[in-house]
Amino acid sequence: MLGMRLNQYIAACGICSRREADKLIEGGRVCVNGQTAVSGIQVSDEDLVEVDKKSVKPLSAKVVLAYNKPVGVTCTEKDKYAEKTIVEAVKYPVRLTYAGRLDKESEGLMILTNDGALIQNMMKGANCHEKEYIVKVDKEITDSFLSGMANGVYLKELEKTTRPCRMEQTGKYTFKIILTQGLNRQIRRMCGQFGYHIKRLVRVRIMNIELGALKTGAYREIQGEELMELYRLCKLK
């Protein structure tokens, strides 16, 4: 393995995030080749890296999960005010990070993985990866609402106009929306501009990965052709 920054190396071991790794280094809890480490140094597999006197190595196996997040689960690793974090909900033996959050009130598909390159590609807005949602609102849907949402909405609080998106009415109070960006609480903010309030929001697809019949609170490993297609769409091997 080519050299990488020490905090990145520790994160790749599945121990903690890069930010938390920096705190371990600053606290003198990390040694490299028997010497107390300093921030910013480069290490590789040829170096002996120890955290709290225990040798650590990066995880070699990549894990990619599809998870059906329930309402009430918070997309964060640590939050003393959260009723339940995503880490507590999934309880996977390997440390995973999510690619694109859902707010506490929303539910549906999330991708969890220990592959940093995959996360970065999926999160980069310029790549315009599709995400599909089914939404129920509090009043009857109109043609002007559908066209207004589809053409892009200026969100004053974010000082941004949303990209044009695909909208399809699926019921008197429900619609499907396909986005290619992920602004904070985007769909809720967009609906609010037209006086609509969301009663239920479910993400049903991310790129080629579909929620399907996955039960609420359950996860499955993404494997085989489905995984290969995900990496192909992300232009990764």
Alpha carbon distance 25, 201 (integer Å):
41
57, 45 contact by CB (below 8 A): yes
Q: How many residues does the chain have?
A: 237
52 given a catalytic annotation = no
Secondary structure of residue 68 in the 3-state scheme: strand
CA-based angle 49:54:60, to the nearest 5? 60
Q: Quick one: which H or E segment has residue 177? A: strand 174-179
* CA nearest neighbour of 177 among 163, 159, 160, 195: 163
What span, in angstroms and rounded, lies between the C-alpha atoms of 51 and 225? 37
**Active-site pick, 22, 47, 79, 103:** 103
Q: What phi, psi does 176 have (nearest 5°)? A: -105, 140
User: How far is it, in rounded angstroms, from Cα 25 to Cα 7?
Assistant: 8
Rounded CA separation 204/172 (Å): 19
Tell me the one-letter amino acid at 195: G
CB 27 within 8 A of CB 21: no
**What is the set of active-site residues?**
103
